[in-house]
Amino acid sequence: DTVILARGDSPADALPAVPLAKQYNAPLLLTPTGSLPAAVLSEIRTLGAQNIILIGGTGAIGSGVEKALQAEGLKVERLSGGSRYETAYAIASKLADGSGQAVLVNGDQAEAAFADALSVAAWAGSQGIPILYADSASQGLPAGTAQAFTERNITRTILIGGTAMLPAALEELVPNPVRYSGRDRYATNAAVLKALQPDAERVYAATGRNYADALAAAAAAAQIKGSLILVDGATGSLIPEQESLLRAMKGQAKELRLIGGPAAVPASTAEALRDLLGLQQ
């Protein structure tokens, strides 16, 4: 009976909300800052939701959206902070105590580095592990991130992305760091899935060039312990690391779900994915 609602024009608030959506067994929907689209309200009604959790302050989701939801008789809660780091902390604070793990991704370039977070979001969501932010140019942790590490008694840290996004110095500041990265977003995606979800039975595929489709896919995949492979719709081809990963999954993957139209996941890419996984159309 719960829906998570985040702003649609920036991934920074929505990405850390994937584990929260899994915890509430809730869909993660997107809205513009200023007004609630009729299609989103219609979906909320169709779902029979009674509770809405807004992600971000009024600069992310305006008070007009909140009032429109309240006018529908919905209970509205807002999770926010003074920055994306503090909002990620607020989300982490709502998660049930988990395994003592945290995921660390880039925060100051989130609009460009969203693919790193997307690659791990489905796994983190399925495990109830918070997704927190650090900066590419800082030698320390943001206050909200450090507070989350302390309060949640984090004992293992999973860093996603290379040292251009998360400096090597951060590894000295967090407990038991493990880093997964590659030469580009697709190689990083393959490295994450190989390490964390090599046995996924359900595979989602979405474009790695923008975040909206992949964000929806990550939230859905988290519900069923599925994995999310990011593809380059512009080239229509998979990189060798992805091909190797998918070959290793052949025989255990039972389902492939394509998110987005043929411009996002071309027919040739879909065919290659099915062939590598040994699945029929």
Contacts of 22 (CB under 8 A, 6+ apart): 125, 126, 128, 219, 222, 223
Quick one: pLDDT at residue 99? 84
Rounded to 10 deg, the angle between the 84-94 and 143-151 helix axes is: 20
Domain enclosing residue 24, as ranges: 2-277
Quick one: pLDDT at residue 27? 95
Q: Residue 280 pLDDT more than 90?
A: no
Main-chain phi, psi angles of 28, to 5 degrees? -110, 110
Residue range 239-264, pLDDT digits in tens: 999 999 999 999 999 999 999 999 99
Nearest-angstrom CA–CA distance, 236 and 228: 17
How many domains does the chain contain in total?
Answer: 1
